Amino acid sequence: MVEALRPGDVVAAGLCIGCGGCASGMAMDRDGLWKPDVTSDGGADFATRCPFSPAAADEDAIAAARFAAAARHSDLLGRHESTWVGHVAEGGFRANGSSGGMVSWVAAELLRTGAVDAVAHVAPVAAPHEDGRFFSYRLSRNGEEIAGGAKSRYYPVELSAVIAAIRATPGRYAVVAVPCFAKALNLLRQSDPVIAERVTHLLGLFCGHQKSARMVDSFAWQLKAPIARVRAVDYRIKDEGRPANWYRAHLTLDDGSARAEDWWHLADGDWGAGFFQNPACDWCDDVVAETADVAFGDAWVEPYASDGRGTNVVIARSAAMHALIEEAVADGRLALTPVDAPFVEETQAAGFRHRREGLAYRLTWRRREVHVVKRVAPSAALPLRRKLIYRMRHMIARDSHRLARVALRYRWPALYTGWARRALALYRALAWSHGRLGTWVERIMPDRRR
């Protein structure tokens, strides 16, 4: 029965994203993913607060309640007032961010104008090996503190501590969140009047999927850096002379030295292949944070993808966020240009295929312990090659954790990296027609969609 749903049921079904909305404390499991206490009942309203619960309101229902008067609607983007492409024109926001600097600018602007008293966002921890993690949520109360959390963090985090801090201290708070975390906070606001009053703004991040902490172990193995000596991790080093989508893994060691490598030289360096993906991400249908007041992503289309300085696409959903952005554009503080919904959809085309077409196919797979209810109808009406690609991504996400687990236990990194290179070669043959196998696949199963 849905009414009796417990955190342990969601964890066992592979549907727990580790958001921390249901627990006062969270622990990282053996695969580097956050999980709640599975013996807890999660509270009487857990079934309606968990973002992956079949009893919880979906993104359409939440957005309809929050943005009922929105001027526009798109099946993929949700309700919104306006959509934009560009970057921050003032200060060092663009240079210090991983894309156009818009996330940090909006967070800092809300603080500057007094719209909020603090912003909850992800930032590096000072002593990762004492803390047991490299990144966590923190509350920032000025622009300088916001700047310390700029850039993308493909690392597992959870909200339980920051939710407790918001409950403990009156004020108005903004929270920067990926789609499922934004949904979890909206669901929590429906049942918790304190959170409803104090969390006044949600700043959403477009999301392809979340990674586990094992990705950092993989970086360390491949960059020949003992994990015990790693003090800082950077997933995207910006270089104006290189395209924005040329990611570069960067580790800072305890002696101040650094190790770095371009992602495409790594054994698991294809983001879309799904290495170290959180299992719950295969059952999500929100790419663009449809329940957040404003959402930000990278402009993965030309000419923007080749601009190493970084460019954002922005979706303003609330009237207040639209007004804030429009005024700053008029003042020359933001270099943003209005665009239509299809343009934004194209910038995230691969993510939408995986979360809509791919999800429809995954919903036809085996019955799960917890029934999955999504806005996408189950369908296996796909060419064989597309089915194989989605199966391969799912297998890579699952087995990358299994192989890394064994590699860590026996101190045998080559077990994982050797498997990863072979798995990636097979995936690229299927998805991109790479190599001899890819040529053969393309000949018998041609498919230009990616």
pLDDT tens digits for range 36-56: 988 888 888 999 999 999 999
Rounded CA gap, 276 and 287, in Å? 18
The pTM assigned to this predicted structure is 0.96
Answer whether residue 411 shows pLDDT above 50. Answer: yes
Answer whether residue 449 shows pLDDT above 70. Answer: no
Answer whether residue 2 shows pLDDT above 80. Answer: no
Rounded CA gap, 79 and 152, in Å? 25
Instruction: Write out the two tokens for 412.
Output: 């045998």
**409 belongs to a structural domain:** no
Answer whether residue 1 shows pLDDT above 50. Answer: no
Answer whether residue 75 shows pLDDT above 90. Answer: yes
**225 belongs to a structural domain:** no
Rounded CA gap, 4 and 2, in Å? 5
Rounded CA gap, 123 and 391, in Å? 34
| Residue 289 contacts residue 206 (beta carbons within 8 Å) | yes
| Residue 51 contacts residue 426 (beta carbons within 8 Å) | no
Amino acid at 92: G
Judge residue 356's burial from the number of C-beta atoms within 10 Å of its C-beta, 0-12 exposed, 13-18 middle, 19 or more buried: middle
* C-alpha torsion sign, points 298, 300, 301, 307: positive
Helix/strand/coil for 164: helix
**52 belongs to a structural domain:** yes
| Residue 431 contacts residue 272 (beta carbons within 8 Å) | yes
Which of these, 297, 225, 213, lies nearest to 256 by C-alpha position? 225
Helix/strand/coil for 343: helix
- Give me the pLDDT at residue 143, please: 93
| Residue 102 contacts residue 296 (beta carbons within 8 Å) | yes
Which of these, 116, 201, 187, 199, lies nearest to 163 by C-alpha position? 199
CA 391 vs CA 68, 191, 361, 378: distances in Å: 38, 38, 9, 15
**237 belongs to a structural domain:** no
For the stretch 289-337, pLDDT in tens is 999 999 999 999 999 999 989 999 999 999 999 999 999 999 999 999 9
The strand pair at 27-28 and 34-35 is best described as antiparallel
Of the chain, the end-to-end C-alpha distance in Å amounts to 39
**Mean pLDDT within 65-80:** 95
Phi, psi of 29 (to 5 degrees): -85, -175
**83 belongs to a structural domain:** yes
**396 belongs to a structural domain:** no
Helix/strand/coil for 139: strand
Q: Which H helix or E strand runs over 196?
A: helix 193-198
**375 belongs to a structural domain:** no
**25 belongs to a structural domain:** yes
Answer whether residue 448 shows pLDDT above 70. Answer: no
Helix/strand/coil for 360: helix
Domain that holds residue 174: 2-211+278-351
Structural domain total, the chain: 1
Which of these, 26, 250, 58, lies nearest to 136 by C-alpha position? 26
